[in-house]
Amino acid sequence: MELVMPISAKENLKKNMKAFSEKSKRFPGLLWRTVWRVGRDDPRRVVHALKVGLSLTLVSLLYLLEPLFKGIGQNAIWAVMTVVVVLEFTAGATLCKGLNRGLGTLLAGSLAFLTGYIAEKTGLVFRAVFIGAAVFVIGTATTYMRFFPYIKRNYDYGVLIFLLTFNLITVSSYRVSNVLKIAHERFYTIAIGCGVCLVMTLFIFPIWSGEDLHNSTVIKLEGLAKSIEACVNEYFNDVEKEKTQDKSPEDPIYKGYKAVLDSKSQDETLALHASWEPRHSRHCRYPWQQYVKLGAVLRHFGYTVVALHGCLQSEIQTPQHCRVLFKDPCIRVTNELSKALMELANSIRNRRHCSPEILSDNLHEALQDLNNALKSQPRLFLGSNNNQATNMLAVAAAHANSSQKREKYNGVSLPSFKTDNSALLEWKSKRMNNEHSRSEAAERKVLRPQLSKIAITSLEFSEALPFAAFASLLVETVARLDNIIEEVEELGRIACFKEFKPGDEVIVNFKTQKVNVTLNHFSSQGGE
């Protein structure tokens, strides 16, 4: 036994070393693929990295070149720190941080100089008391101001820099005589750093927050259109697919609406940074907050798509022979809905108004067809199809009997299955009589889900319930489309989008064919 343990430890050590060696060999390839994927997903990341490297090199010259170092001194390092902190990915973020940092430094330096000037006129002891009191008052007031919503949203970084700079200058002035010179040198170096950042972000391959917000709105509309189309196609064409509890990141349905549901924070941040950028139009103030409102409406629409996707994961599914009865009208409604969403996305992308025929007679006719198809199957939804209900009950009873045989060794017996609630009542009474038995407690864990399914399948209309939910959610998406159209039209009005011309057409690639998205006029009766 003593010899076995060392041998086993050596074998485990060899296995671990071998596994580590294999991982080390794969690491360079994995690293290269990660680097390549990050740059391929957004080439602007490579450009931004080069801009940061070039900016740091330029401000480092203040420290490296002797003539510049003699003029500025040790404070040249503040320019390097400013570039590292201020230079952000988009122009709006850089402008927001740069102007906040510059304004905060200027105000803090001015107030610190005024505080130091007043303190110099007093004695040494009173000077220390005055500086301590000033630090306390300014620190308390400034920190409290950071809780104001408007200041926190727009100037939080500037207030933080103001507080830091004021305390550094004011406290150091007690031991240093020439505080004004230090403040001037630091302000100059920070201004140089901010200037380099602004030049890089505004004139060398600029990346605009407003453009990112604009493009992300287009992508969200297209993602919703693709999600709805893929969800309906999968519901009718892939009935036997195994249900999964976790949503796969590769699922096209999940990918489409995930970007919409996760966009609230991103939209608000991009809109804030875009408000600092130069206007893209000379004729109007670009309505970045309208994009945020549109994003909120899209999230509200996306919740319906999530519920629609949830129908694919339902425990009880409508049989395929029932789904086929409603496949064509549902597919037509989905195609028309996707066309409308793609037309809205295209109108925002090209900065033009929506087509006046975005809601067409085709959508109205598809809804009517779906309505007629539902009316043509009253027995399915009213529960009068006794034969179908009997078949369902027979399947449930057979399943219960098979479970009874599997649990025979525990002495478990299921009550005879009945079409009314008597089976459940008998089971409840039996459970109450034997609730103190340890074996019955273990058996109930097995019986409870089984009897729950029996109770559900005893409902004659249970086969139609899942599809009824699916159809109602599909119609709900059409109803919520009006809210999206209203917000897009409001965006086009405020942003002065160009008028729609009859030649503006979009070709949308669906799985079966290319569909022209220039829709027919939606009649007033259909709109109502």
Q: Is the same domain home to 119 and 213?
A: no
pLDDT at 141: 93
Provide the 8-state DSSP code for 243: P
- CA–CA distance, 484 with 270 (Å, rounded to integer): 20
Name 459's Cβ contacts closer than 8 Å, sequence gap at least 6. Answer: 383, 465
Q: Is the same domain home to 286 and 177?
A: no
Q: Which amino acid is at 357?
A: E
Q: Among candidates 417, 401, 426, which has minimal Cα distance to 458? A: 417
- Asked if 80 and 136 count as a contact pair (C-beta separation under 8 A), the reply is no
**Number of domains comprising the chain:** 2
Determine, yes or no, domain membership for 140.
yes
Determine, yes or no, domain membership for 428.
no
Instruction: Give 447-457 pLDDT, tens digit per residue.
Output: 444 444 444 44
- Asked if 72 and 199 count as a contact pair (C-beta separation under 8 A), the reply is no
The phi, psi pair for 230, rounded to 5°, reads -65, -35
3-class secondary structure, 296? helix
Q: Is the same domain home to 354 and 255?
A: yes
Q: Pairing relation of β-strands 507-509 and 514-516? A: antiparallel
Q: Is the same domain home to 177 and 319?
A: no
Q: Is the same domain home to 71 and 196?
A: yes
Tens of each residue's pLDDT in the chain, 528 residues: 444 456 677 777 777 787 777 778 788 888 888 888 888 888 999 999 999 999 999 988 887 887 777 777 677 788 888 899 889 999 999 999 888 888 888 898 888 888 877 877 776 777 888 888 989 999 999 999 999 998 988 899 999 999 998 888 888 777 766 667 777 777 788 888 888 998 999 999 999 998 999 999 999 999 999 999 999 888 888 545 544 444 555 677 888 888 898 888 899 999 999 988 886 554 456 788 999 999 999 999 999 999 988 888 877 777 787 788 888 888 889 898 999 999 999 999 988 888 777 777 788 888 888 888 888 776 666 554 444 444 444 444 444 455 444 444 444 443 333 334 454 455 456 556 655 555 554 444 444 444 444 444 444 555 677 888 888 888 899 889 989 999 999 998 888 888 877 766 544 443 333 333 322 332 333 333
Reported as half-sphere exposure (CB side, CA atoms, 13 A), residue 302 has a value of 24
CATH of the domain at 465: 1.20.58
DSSP sequence for 347-414: HHHTTBPPPTTSS-HHHHHHHHHHHHHHHT-HHHHHT--HHHHHHHHHHHHHHHHHHHHHTGGGT--P
415's enclosing H/E stretch is: none
Q: Is the same domain home to 217 and 350?
A: yes
Q: Is the same domain home to 135 and 198?
A: yes
Give the largest Cα separation in the chain, rounded: 103
- The pTM assigned to this predicted structure is 0.72
Determine, yes or no, domain membership for 102.
yes
Instruction: Give 385-402 pLDDT, tens digit per residue.
Output: 444 444 444 444 444 455
Determine, yes or no, domain membership for 3.
no
pLDDT at 187: 79
pLDDT at 28: 82
Determine, yes or no, domain membership for 218.
yes
Q: Which amino acid is at 224?
A: L
Encoding tokens for residue 520? Answer: 């027919």
Structural domain of 351: 209-237+250-380+458-495
Place of tokens 């940092």: 101
DSSP sequence for 189-229: HHHHHHHHHHHHHHHSS---HHHHHHHHHHHHHHHHHHHHH
Number of residues that this document lists for the chain: 528
pLDDT at 290: 92
Inter-helix orientation angle 77-86/91-120, to 10°:
140
Q: Is the same domain home to 221 and 313?
A: yes
Q: Is the same domain home to 187 and 254?
A: no
Q: Is the same domain home to 233 and 260?
A: yes
Determine, yes or no, domain membership for 521.
no
pLDDT at 139: 92
3-class secondary structure, 333? helix
Q: Is the same domain home to 278 and 306?
A: yes
Determine, yes or no, domain membership for 265.
yes
List the beta bridge partners of residue 507. Answer: 516
Provide the 8-state DSSP code for 150: H
Provide the 8-state DSSP code for 463: T
- Asked if 172 and 179 count as a contact pair (C-beta separation under 8 A), the reply is yes
Query: Alpha carbon of 368 to those of 326, 361, 364, 371, 474: distances in Å?
Result: 12, 10, 6, 5, 13
Determine, yes or no, domain membership for 262.
yes
- CA–CA distance, 314 with 418 (Å, rounded to integer): 25
Q: Is the same domain home to 159 and 278?
A: no
